[in-house]
Structure 1
Amino acid sequence: MAGGNAIRGTRVGAGPMGEVERGEAAPRNRIPFWCANRHETRVAFASEADVPELWDCPRCGLPAGQDQQNPPPAPRSEPYKTHLAYVRERRSDADGDALLEEALTRLHQRRSV
């Protein structure tokens, strides 16, 4: 005996999805991009869309361009700077010695009281 549910195995909104219900797909162009690691990525853009100059490579994350022979270079990564490195950029050694001497003098005064 068959079950009483006629729409068994389907979900709300399910049905044949074709050109009739969705409409026609926009014409597209597949544009190739290459990164510095020589990975090729083909991205589909609508024919009327402006194609960007750079695209992020999905494999390695480097910027990719449309010229296979001259892909964009990898961005330079700056090394991590410590707090002390930033302080040394702003102050000279003489300023640092003066501040250290001042701090030590105050510390000695507090301990002697």
Structure 2
Amino acid sequence: MGERTLRGARLGGQSFEDERGIEFAARQQVGYLCSQGHGFEITMSVEADIPALWECPRCGAEARATSGIEPEVKAEKPARTHWDMLLERRSEKELEDILAERLDLLRSGEIGPAHLHRPSARKKRASV
């Protein structure tokens, strides 16, 4: 029987609910003004935390609340570099020792790209 009442109704066309007997939550109007000078109001619950910034519906710019609410200033962390992260794990003395050890291995030919360790054509001709 309920299916028959909805038959033929457009999607999004009209609501079959009645507003009688419904108690709406307490609301407030919050005003905003963007940098382009566009002013607008948003309806919010009285219990809601009012955001200091809102996107302007006309231009998309950041709009500030006209009630004087200031946005929170977040403390920015300085960017951590690879060197900073490396120093969290090892001391500079340890890093110097590791570097010296790896340079010795590289110079002796135990590690590194193969083309650096192949005998050159000059050395072959000189030995022949």
- Shorter-chain TM-score tier: 0.3 to 0.5
Q: Which has the higher contact order (CA 8 A, sep 6+)?
A: 1
TM-score normalised per structure 1: 0.45
